Amino acid sequence: MAILYIQKGIQVLTLQWRASEASAYLSIVIALLVLAVGYIASLIGNSNLFNHPIRVFLKDYGTPLAVVVFTGFQFIGRMDGVHLERMPISKAFLPTPDRDWFVRIWDISTGDIFLAIP
């Protein structure tokens, strides 16, 4: 799964040059900062630098926090004016027309449940 996310991330980074050079360079900077902050949080989590609860917090939540922080980072100062391409989402993400997202477990047959167990 990680390889697929890396491949998709590189694909979106290469699409940034369609918008502008500023868009491409800002995207690369944000990607590298997320990588660096996530990696540093992991290193701190394995060190003796802070007390145990802070290390555990940084190790567990360092990467998700870096993603959230640097998602908002692009809207600070002059970077707000740079148009960044967004990851394309296809219609395959939508449910099929004859059903919705909610699974009605009371309508599933017992045979289907036992078939899904393995």
pLDDT in tens, 30-64: 888 888 988 898 888 888 888 999 999 988 998 88
Instruction: Give the pLDDT score at 46.
Output: 87
3-state secondary structure 70-100: HHHHCCCHHHHHCCCCCCCCCHHHCCCCCCC
Decide if 33 contacts 70 (C-beta within 8 A).
yes
Instruction: Give the pLDDT score at 67.
Output: 87
- Kindly report the number of other CB atoms within 10 A of residue 37's CB atom: 17
* pLDDT above 80 (res 85): no
| For the chain, domain boundaries | 2-88
* pLDDT above 80 (res 25): yes
d(CA 112, CA 22): 53
